[in-house]
Amino acid sequence: MRRRAILGYGAAGVGAVALMLFVGWWQVDGPGGPEPVGQRPMALTEMDFRLTDHEGNAVGPETLIGRPTMVFFGFTYCPDVCPTTLSDISGWLDDLGDEADEMNVVFITVDPERDTVEAMAEYVGYFHPGIRGWTGPEEQIARVADGFRATYERVPAESGDYTMNHTASVFLFAASGRFVTMIDYHEPKEFAVPKIRRALEEEMEGAT
């Protein structure tokens, strides 16, 4: 009996430690963690850039104001991160159902040299129809990335071609243009979708 009680206390102790570690991860490195100081994106209302969407329409930060917004940076020649993330986003939008129609979802290229309007149109066509592709001059892409606090760089390949390193997280903004949070690369759907709903709920609260 005494041995059973000791084992019971031991199991409870392990469970408590595991819970504490999970809470610590959630608050520091996980979905509940704060954005790094100095890396928080600007509000959309404070940004200034001019791009073109995959249908040839002029777009800018004002295009995104009024509805919750999800933004991801990447490029069409991306071998894994971009198609994986856009597939994840497509799944999240499917899970949201009709609520997905209330959002702006934008894929912004960091490789405008190769990602023309036509190339973006073909690429986003492989994913959820709600995803828009944006491209533009290099200097405008740089302005966008600076506002979002996103990073990217051109990396030479052994073949003589090049690839791009870039921020792999997804940015979430409220309808007001205020930054809400980020969804990390490969973040489980169980965490990602509630974050998106939070941005949608802020839109509804602002409308009441």
* DSSP conformational letter for 36: P
Higher-scoring residue by pLDDT: 35, 160? 160
Take residue 119 and report the two structure tokens written for it. 């190339």
If residue 155 lies in a helix (H) or strand (E), which one and from where to where? strand 152-156
Mean of per-residue pLDDT scores for the chain: 85
Q: How far apart are the C-alpha atoms of 58 and 33, rounded to whole Å? A: 35
* Higher pLDDT pick, 36 / 186: 186
Tell me how far apart the alpha carbons of residues 100 and 194 are, in angstroms, rounded to a whole number: 13
Poorest-pLDDT segment among 33-47, 66-80, 89-103, 141-155? 33-47
The CATH architecture of the domain made up of 44-207 is 3-Layer(aba) Sandwich (3.40)
Who contacts 134 (Cβ-Cβ below 8 Å, separation ≥6)? 51, 52, 53, 54, 59, 106, 107, 108, 109, 120
Q: Name the token pair of 12.
A: 């409870």
pLDDT in tens, 46-65: 999 999 999 999 999 999 99
> In the structure, what pLDDT confidence band is assigned to residue 39 with cuts at 50, 70 and 90?
confident
Q: What angle do CA 159, 165, 142 make, to 5 degrees?
A: 115
pTM: 0.80
Q: Which two tokens stand for residue 78?
A: 């991306």
Each residue's pLDDT tens digit, 84-133: 999 999 999 999 999 999 999 999 999 999 999 999 999 999 999 999 99
Break the chain into its structural domains and give their ranges.
1-33, 44-207
